[in-house]
Amino acid sequence: MRLGTGIRRSAVAGAIAGALLLTGCSGEMGSKADRASNGGPRAWAGGSGGAGGSGAPATGVEEGTDEGEQKFAPPDYLSTFALDVDTASYGYAVRSLDEGRRPEPSTVRPEEFVNSFRQEYDRPEGNGFSVSLDGARVSGKDDPDEAGPWSLVRVGLATRLAEDSGERPPAALTFVVDVSGSMAEPGRLDLVKDSLSLLTGELRDDDSIALVTFSGEAETRLTMTRVGDSRERIRRAVADLEPSDSTNLEAGITTGYAEAVEGRREGATNRVVLLSDALANTGETQADAILERIATARERHGITLFGVGIGSEYGDALMERLADKGDGSTTYISDKEEARKVFVDQLPAQVELRARDAKAQVAFDRRTVERFRLIGYENRAVADEDFRNDRVDGGEIGPGHTVTALYAVQLRPGAEGEIAKATVRWLDPATRAPRERSGSVRTDAVDSALWSEAKPRLQVTAVAAYFAEELRGGSVPGAPALDTLAERAGALAESTEDPSVERLAEAIRRADRLRD
């Protein structure tokens, strides 16, 4: 049975809006969407500043809660960013190429390409992260570049896998579904309905679901309901969804978060899941006004957002900003196989958190490093001095996630010793106590040739990063031409027996054929 938004939910929505008027934006709280930048997308850090020390070198792995002495390099040799597990940019790029068009460069985010692929990192025993660093040489020892060889340095972070489904906390999920006219296109609302029906069968009896739809206005179809004996009722509510008219995303977000606040469960993982093509055209269509509603619910009630993008025309930038402000992540689905992966294989197991407000800082040693650049993460940048400021927002990371940061690094001629130390800082999801873990990498660990000696998964990472940079008009040292890159990806697909790598290879082939 459909339920109107009602007086009760209207009151909650009004309370949220009223709170915004009273509190405004905190000057001390940062968001992933509003961080200070450490440089443009193609800015290089480092320089020929001599062999100045980088502080006492650190080795091995460390973990602790107190800040201790700052032992990092000078600011120009630091790279600081919030962790991110978004993959929507890669999924949408593949969809665009499948349809015979290159993605707009502004929608290409290299970190989301890189993080779309499985890694082989060790897993930690408890909450938080393992830290792995390695790399490979992309220009030979006899390279004519007199400044020194180029290498790729990979910083890999991983969380512990999900427990058996009976071990996790219950989930309270509010689905906010776009039923505007544009969702009538095949592969949009029909895919959403299939996805939610699949998920309903995977959730536990003690999980809860609410369902809100929006077109010109928002409507609550199902208040927060325990799954238990209500699976068929939930499926009927999903089956009744039909496309309507315009896209009032603001109304959907406001009503959805009001429903999530009202149905919030103590001890549960409370999350809003937005399924939309994010093409707002009525109501408030500017991101900032919509973002405020999310920020308040996040800060006061700990409700996070998971954005699922759908459709050949897709508001990528808006969806990403919404998820960032909501301490969540985004993905993109274009077919039933991807929907099953997201809603059956991933979401039920990952409703809990392993880390809150997670940030990483990589300190490069100026005695060995001439210059470096982080590939991607431009809109995840955090001011170096805010790395240990826990009032500055970071990323929320769930079980079984890996986060990869890839750097292009030019070493000083003949350099030997430590290249970099990477530290990840997070808040324990239960106690909110700060934790840190670190790892380091030396020059001998990046001396192997990328394509002939490096680990296969490092090669896949390099292919994904090179591909993303080419699509957005950038360049990275050692990048082969697209036809060669496609050959590398095809060979890796065979050696890894990984269908996702074969899909990457095909996407590169399509991009090569579409070049002007």
pLDDT tens across the length of the chain (516 residues): 333 444 334 444 443 333 332 233 333 334 443 443 333 345 677 754 333 333 333 333 334 433 333 443 445 799 999 998 999 999 999 999 999 999 999 999 999 999 999 999 999 988 899 999 999 999 855 544 455 789 999 999 999 988 765 577 889 999 999 999 889 888 889 999 999 998 999 899 999 999 999 998 999 999 999 999 999 999 999 999 999 888 888 899 999 999 999 999 988 889 999 999 888 776 655 667 777 777 778 778 888 889 999 988 888 888 888 888 787 889 999 888 888 888 887 776 667 789 999 999 999 999 999 999 999 999 899 999 999 999 998 998 988 999 999 999 999 999 999 999 999 999 998 899 999 999 999 999 999 999 999 999 999 999 999 999 999 999 999 999 999 999 999 999 999 999 999 999 999 999 999 986
Q: Which residue type, as a one-letter code, is found at position 149?
A: P
Cα 137 versus chain centre, distance: 27
State the pLDDT at residue 285: 55
Cα 251 versus chain centre, distance: 25
State the pLDDT at residue 81: 97
Q: What is the C-alpha R_g of the chain? A: 23
Judge contact between 189 and 433, C-beta under 8 A: no
Cα 144 versus chain centre, distance: 38
- Helix or strand holding residue 397 (H, E): strand 395-397
State the pLDDT at residue 418: 97
State the pLDDT at residue 480: 95
Dihedral over alpha carbons 312, 316, 322, 323 (to 10 degrees): 90
State the pLDDT at residue 18: 35
Neighbouring residues of 170: CB distance < 8 A, sequence distance ≥ 6: 204, 206, 207, 208, 265, 267, 268, 269
Q: Which residue, 466, 424, 450, is CA-closest to 63?
A: 424
Per the structure block, which two tokens stand in for 153?
């340095």
Q: Which residue type, as a one-letter code, is found at position 379?
A: N
State the pLDDT at residue 347: 78
- As a whole number of angstroms, the distance between CA 150 and CA 412 comes to 9
Cα separations (Å) of 30 from 287, 361, 362, 514?
A: 16, 17, 20, 40
Say how many residues make up the chain.
Answer: 516
Q: Which residue, 196, 230, 228, is CA-closest to 212?
A: 196
Read off the DSSP letter of residue 344: I
Q: What are phi and psi of 338, to 5 degrees?
A: -70, -40
Helix axes 189-202, 231-239, angle to 10 degrees: 180
Q: Which residue, 337, 280, 273, is CA-closest to 306?
A: 273
Judge contact between 387 and 82, C-beta under 8 A: no
State the pLDDT at residue 47: 55
Which neighbouring-strand residues pair with 272? 174, 305
- Please tell me the pTM assigned to this model: 0.80
Considering Cα of 347, then 350, then 351, then 356, what sign does the dihedral take?
negative
State the pLDDT at residue 182: 85
Question: Burial, 278: exposed, middle or buried (Cβ in 10 Å; 0-12, 13-18, 19+)?
Answer: buried
Which residue is associated with the tokens 């927060």? 224
Judge contact between 236 and 252, C-beta under 8 A: no
Q: List the beta strands (DSSP E) in 216-288.
A: 218-226, 269-276
State the pLDDT at residue 467: 98
Q: Which residue type, as a one-letter code, is found at position 271?
A: R
- Helix or strand holding residue 359 (H, E): strand 355-364
State the pLDDT at residue 242: 94
Buried b (16+ CB within 10 A) or exposed e, 288-310: eebbbbbbbbbeeebbbbbbbbb
Q: What are phi and psi of 2, to 5 degrees?
A: -75, 140
